[in-house]
Each structure stands twice: as structure tokens, then as C-alpha cells.
Structure 1
Amino acid sequence: MTEHAAPRRIIVLRHAKADWPQVDDHERPLAERGRAEAPVAGQWLADSGINPEYVLCSTSVRTRETWKLAAHELPKRQRRTVFEKRIYDATAGEIIEVLKETPGDVADLLLVGHNPGVQNLVEVLAGDESLGDELNQLRQRGFPTAGIAVLTFDGAWDGVEPGVGRLVSYYVPSVD
């Protein structure tokens, strides 16, 4: 199989529940519930056999905290994390442009971002083959905090475009 035909996986993680202190939106930290949600999301990734080799994380405080807590639940630590300010407050189209810059040798990429951008991204990337339970659940429930969507596609990263993916998993952590 050539590099361009290699299967790829995009794991989309929305940041965990944020607090609302009197700070700039970019600087908002996780709330107590968010500090509980993020490890649960990380454990789901580990239990699903997902240990991404490349992570694109928004530069906001809440996304960085979410990734740090989730990453502690994963079995391996050998991964590259890129903190990318273009993901903060980005549209699906803007996120796609960032995804296209992913190194060609990366098979599994995890994106930690914000709504509405991450939900729109998943819906835009999900092709017609995704019109199953996962996509219907996503459309009905939205993309709650610490929610995860896993998409697959074949091809090179610079070929990421609307409809190229297939939504194969959708998970929302339950924290009481």
C-alpha cells in the first residue's frame, strides 16, 4: 500500500467542561466537572486502542488542560503535540486547512478543539457512508464537552476535504 492510499484516522476531542471566571475566553480553565470528564475521555481512547501519534491542540487553556488529563490515561507517551492557535475559534474549513499540513507519515491524528468548529468539522468530513447511528447520534446530541468522534479516510492529509471521511465512533463521557 502506498503512502497516499494508507488509511488515516482523525480523532476529534472537544475540550472538557470549562469554568466561567472573569478572564478572557482563551484563558478559561476547566471546571471541576471538566477535570473529571477529561480522564474519562482519555480512558475511552485507551480502551478503544487509540493512542494517537500526532496531536493538534488549540492553544486555549481549557483545551491544553483537557489534553493533559486525557493523555495521562493513554498507555504510551511517545507522541508529538502541536499547540495550534488557528484551531481556537476556527470554522470547519479553517480546521481542514490545518489538517492538510499534517506530516505524511502520520496515520492517527487527534484534534483537541472547540464547538461549533469540531462538530461542524465532523459533519462536513463524514461522507454518505456515515449516515448510520453514530452520525445520527451526533446530530441529535450535538458535540458535548469531552465528546469524541473518530473518522477514517484513505489518502494523503493534503487530500482532506468535505465528504472524504467515515464516522466510525462517537462517544460522550458520563460524569456524575
Structure 2
Amino acid sequence: MKSLEEKILKEGRLRDGNILKVDSFLNHQMDIKFLNEIGKEFKRIFKDEKIDKILTIEASGIGIAAIVSQYFDFAPVVFAKKTESLNLDKDLYEAKVFSYTKKKEYVVRVGKRFLNKGERVLIIDDFLAMGCAAKGLLELVDKSEAELVGVGIVIEKGFQDGRKILEDMGVRVESLAILDDFKDGEIRFK
């Protein structure tokens, strides 16, 4: 998605440790007009698929998934929660997820009544690096006996192993922008 690459080059900032900050439009402040273009692109990519649910992980994926939902007949968005809460159902699917950016392991949870056997699920997330979040979400889909349609990623770090790990598991991975590297403080795309 050329417009996404241009926006990353214009507004993205690099940090130590291969961290790309896109918080001005994607995961802190959200550019809704631009996210609508992202939603349309995911619809174009998955146009032949029936989608019953969109699954993401809190917090950065929620806004993106909500926008994407409107292009799939407002399929409900389910997000895996990282923290325990009194208002969570007791009957949950759980999976462990290691956060690359926070260097911390989480247990993510989804109420069993929100992912059901046979439902066709599209996973949407902001970044793909090592595939940890996606693998945790895949585990939730597997436990629910729902059917995975694919994984839609806004920005993939193509120089890390996430895509290979997921594709080796037989997962369809579709990324809108794939970073090649950050050599000499410069962002390069595949």
C-alpha cells in the first residue's frame, strides 16, 4: 500500500532496538480518514472471504479492527484482553503472548461466548515482528474451534521471523507495508 509507505516515511520515527514509532497516525493518535483507507485495502485483499468475527489484541489493534469491521458488514470485533478484571467472564480461552516492545509475557483472554465453533475469523493487528501476538490469537481461534481466514497486518517487520513462523503454520498472512530494514537510520521497504 503505497500511501501507507509514504505516511510511514513522513510521520514514522525510528527508535533503538528496531522500534518504529507510528503513534501520530496508527497506535496512539489515530488518523481515522487514513484508517478508512486501510480498512478498504483489507476488504480488497479478503474480498472473497466470509468473515463472521474480527479478532485483535488490546490495545493498538482495537481501533484498526473497528474500522476494518465496517467493510465486512460490521462483523463484530473481539479483542483479547491482557489484564484480568472483575467484569470478565469466568469461562475464557487463554493463551500466553510475549510482547516484543514491552519485553513482557502476558496471558490474553477472550470470553468463550465471543468465539464460537465454525465461525470464520480474521485476525487484524498493527504490527508483525516475531509473530508472538498473532500466535497467541491463533491459539485462541484453535481453542474455540473457529476457522481462521487469515491474518491482516498493517506494518510487517520483514527482517524478523514473524511471517515465516506463521506461514510455516499454514496461515495466510497479508501485510499492507513490509519493512525491509532500518539501515543507517533510514526506513526501507520490500
Q: If each structure's strand is expressed as a fraction of its own residues, which one has the higher value?
A: 2
TM-score, length-scaled by structure 1: 0.44
Q: When you count helix as a share of all residues, which structure comes out higher?
A: 1
Which has the higher relative contact order, 1 or 2, with Cα contacts under 8 A spaced 6 or more apart? 1
Structure number with greater Rg is: 2
> TM-score scaled by structure 2?
0.42
